[in-house]
Structure 1
Amino acid sequence: MTVRRPRIGLLVALVATLALLCCGGSVSAVLLGAFGTDKEDLSLFTSGCGTGGPLDPEGKLPKIRPYGATQMKNAAIIINVGATLKMPPRAWVVAVATAMQESRLTNLGYLGDRNDHDSLGLFQQRPSSGWGTPAQVTDPTYAATKFYEKLKTIDGWETMALTEAAQRVQISAYPQAYAKHELLATQIVNVLADGAANAVGNSLAMVCASAADIAASGWTNPYAVKVDAKYKWSVGSGFRIPTRPDHHGVDLIAGFNTPVRSVASGVVSRVLCDETFSGAIDCDREGWPGKGGCGWFVEIRHAGNIMTRYCHLIKRPDLKAGQRVVAGQTIALTGSSGNSSGSHLHFEVHLNNDTSSSSAVDPVRFMAERGAPLTGSQ
């Protein structure tokens, strides 16, 4: 595996110029959010993969709203401690997200009547529970070190959802609270550590994530098809291209029965047969252009109120609404059900857990920003 930097502009151009397959639409609903507005600063994403190393906490650090200079310094300390301990960049994301929830990246002292028992510091670690003395747990370097040391003792933390890994360390009264910080924690790690959330490995050997890898961001590619020692498939119709403005996802073309993977940890929200043809609804056979609908499809909700949709599956996936899945888990097989002219996966990304077409964003851009570019050759 060689170190490569994602070429987002090239990927977008590639997908925008290819239109090979037909595939179905989605249900209409109210617009709850938009992509590319003032609320999401895309300049925060970097094209590196951590090879430049974390920034010096004592140097000039970039700012990320709503965090100020002192908070960003604390985030940089957390990341640098992780690098020093040779923890993989996924651990840095987990640690930063945890400190965001526990203290808003602020080194908390004694809070008086508002204090949660004797919780102190970036991670609200309790001296009475054995984390260290008050002076120690309010030292950001010490506090981060103790967090990583506890994280290392948790078997399988690398493949857990972030909120589960954080909860195993913190044992919080609000175990699901960490999830909402994952996307911004990913941005912070990318900005302060040369795109390390796009990488795998550790501070000694870090490379861009391949198609089969789960990047430190917690995201991966929906395919991991190995051909001639490389991961290959072709990219068909792109997101809302001029000739197909109502195409709200991207087509990833692979043969029948190719495993489809969840691109991040999450919870299955829907497993349905969707066809708009006026005749009998039948997703258990190949569709055709004009039949309408996604055929067999799955929707999964992820941290940050992100929803992903996987369409034209060959048969009903063996999943149930409410079932938890992890990044990289096989959830279905490719097919050509519904409005389709050949075997492929139609893949969509939606904001705000909104199932409508109006909430869809460009999957190519979205996935590249998370270190899991939708390219057929890694």
Structure 2
Amino acid sequence: MRWRPKRLALIVALVATLTLLCCGGTVSALLLGGVADDSGTMTLSSTGCGVGGPVDPNAKLPRLQSYGTAQMKNAAIIINVGAELKLPPRAWVIAVATAMQESRLSNLGYLGENNDHDSLGLFQQRPSSGWGKPSQVTDPEYAATKFYNKLKTVKNWDHLPLTRAAQRVQISAYPNAYAKHELVATQIVNVLADGAANAAGSSVSMVCASPADVAASGWTNPLAEKGPDAHKWDVGSGFRTLDRPKHQGVDLIVDTGTPVRSVASGVVSRVKCDETFAGVKDCDHAGYPGKGGCGWMLEIQHPGNIMTRYCHLVERPNLRAGQQVAAGEVVATSGTSGNSSGPHLHFEVHLNNGRSSASAVDPVQFMAQRGAPLGGSQ
């Protein structure tokens, strides 16, 4: 597969704010600074977890960030082929992100001395490696079909991190490059396929992901449980409120002992006792306001240089730094250690794998953008 030179690299400034409100089977999405029609007018996309189906690739399509209408048409073709093959939206997100990395969603022909061997088309498939004739791999429908057919042979592809699933199809020299496109690929699928990236990840029924599901975006809720006895919970203290301007996350109100899940696939970066009791580092007891610190805390780094932090855990998570975790995997148990007035999970999201207040973003908006809204009743 081709490594794209810098002139072809996608430089995505994450300035788009996507607000998703999912209830009654509908989702409303607004991308600010990201989506425009051919005249440059911003558009509001009303979406519904894929129930409306993918858009016709020949329809008038919007632009999204640095992707023009021709590129969006290629994305629409990729999505439509996935739908025709009865693959769930998770496959569409993987395929679109892969084509973003390989060609910036452009159907590339032969590039002369810049060509990587005989790589061609949206996915930079090589005729000499058995992908098809040059005229075939430069046909977007054919190329997408070949990609999906290979993806289906990958064991548990729908539960793998996007970059690993894509790499097992593409066999790229830069296997970690696909991850950085997951957010914009999710937005493209939502814009072109009626919010399909917010549907349940492995389902072809186009139903909004429940709090217990991993959405097609690859993200899920940190506290959801399946079954009639699942814990009910709500968002308590919010992100940087007027009364708590230095609160860098949100408090999710649950009883002690609630399973805490990784919100996406990733790698554990830190497990720490962040509390001092009577002059001794000790997190194995209930906390109280003013004590200071997160108590038992866990940090996980996710594709796209996203870090999530989980605080006030009841005990040390049975994890080690460098350990891989899957989306939805139980990684800890909620409690009230550290600076805590009662049982809850303090949840933070940081960009650029940062740990400071400067890198923190509002988890409610961030998780809604990925089809995994916070709140047990949503």
Shorter-chain TM-score bucket reads 0.7 to 0.9
Specify the SS of the correspondent of 2:281: coil
How far residue 52 of structure 1 moved from its aligned partner, in angstroms, is 1.4
CA contact (8 A) 1:238 1:251 kept: yes
Higher relative contact order (CA closer than 8 Å, sequence separation 6+): 1
- 1:257 corresponds in structure 2 to 257
Matched, 1:133 2:154: no
CA contact (8 A) 2:336 2:343 kept: yes
How far residue 204 of structure 1 moved from its aligned partner, in angstroms, is 5.7
- 2:165 corresponds in structure 1 to 165
**Counterpart-to-counterpart distance in 2, 1:122 and 1:263:** 30
For structure 2, list consecutive stretches of 5 or more residues without a partner in the other structure: 1-22, 37-41
Task: Tell which deviates more after alignment, 256-265 or 39-48.
Answer: 39-48
Alignment of 1:219-230 (within 5 A): 219-226=219-226, 228=228
Aligned amino acid, residue 160 of structure 1:
L
- 1:267 corresponds in structure 2 to 267
**Counterpart-to-counterpart distance in 2, 1:157 and 1:300:** 22
**Counterpart-to-counterpart distance in 1, 2:144 and 2:193:** 16
**Counterpart-to-counterpart distance in 1, 2:304 and 2:65:** 16
**Counterpart-to-counterpart distance in 1, 2:171 and 2:221:** 31
The superposition leaves residues 17-43 of structure 1 with CA deviations (integer Å, 9 ceiling, x where unpaired) of: xxxxxxxxxxxxxxxxxxx99689997
Matched, 1:82 2:82: yes
**Counterpart-to-counterpart distance in 2, 1:164 and 1:361:** 27
- 1:296 corresponds in structure 2 to 296
CA contact (8 A) 2:295 2:312 kept: yes
C-alpha RMSD of matched pairs (Å): 2.5
CA contact (8 A) 2:28 2:48 kept: no
Task: Tell which deviates more after alignment, 183-192 or 111-120.
Answer: 111-120
How far residue 321 of structure 1 moved from its aligned partner, in angstroms, is 1.4
Change in 2 beyond 3 A, CA 1:241/1:196: same
Alignment of 1:202-351 (within 5 A): 205-226=205-226, 228=228, 232-275=232-275, 279-351=279-351
**Counterpart-to-counterpart distance in 1, 2:85 and 2:121:** 20
**Counterpart-to-counterpart distance in 2, 1:128 and 1:70:** 27
- 1:352 corresponds in structure 2 to 352
Question: When the two structures are aligned, how many residues end up with a matched partner?
Answer: 352
**Counterpart-to-counterpart distance in 1, 2:363 and 2:355:** 15
CA contact (8 A) 2:64 2:188 kept: yes
How far residue 140 of structure 1 moved from its aligned partner, in angstroms, is 0.1
**Counterpart-to-counterpart distance in 2, 1:87 and 1:76:** 15
Task: Tell which deviates more after alignment, 256-265 or 278-287.
Answer: 278-287
How far residue 368 of structure 1 moved from its aligned partner, in angstroms, is 1.0
Give the share of equivalent positions with the same residue, in percent: 71
How far residue 108 of structure 1 moved from its aligned partner, in angstroms, is 1.1
CA contact (8 A) 2:350 2:360 kept: yes
- 1:106 corresponds in structure 2 to 106
Specify the SS of the correspondent of 1:308: strand
How far residue 234 of structure 1 moved from its aligned partner, in angstroms, is 2.5
**Counterpart-to-counterpart distance in 1, 2:201 and 2:133:** 33
How far residue 92 of structure 1 moved from its aligned partner, in angstroms, is 0.3
The superposition leaves residues 101-151 of structure 1 with CA deviations (integer Å, 9 ceiling, x where unpaired) of: 111111111122221111111001111111111110000000000000110
How far residue 159 of structure 1 moved from its aligned partner, in angstroms, is 0.7
CA contact (8 A) 1:198 1:209 kept: yes
Q: What is the TM-score when the length of structure 1 is the normalising length?
A: 0.87
Q: What is the TM-score when the length of structure 2 is the normalising length?
A: 0.87
- 2:182 corresponds in structure 1 to 182
CA contact (8 A) 2:35 2:64 kept: no
CA contact (8 A) 2:29 2:46 kept: no
Specify the SS of the correspondent of 1:76: helix
Specify the SS of the correspondent of 1:208: coil
- 1:14 corresponds in structure 2 to none
Change in 2 beyond 3 A, CA 1:110/1:62: same
Aligned amino acid, residue 25 of structure 2:
R
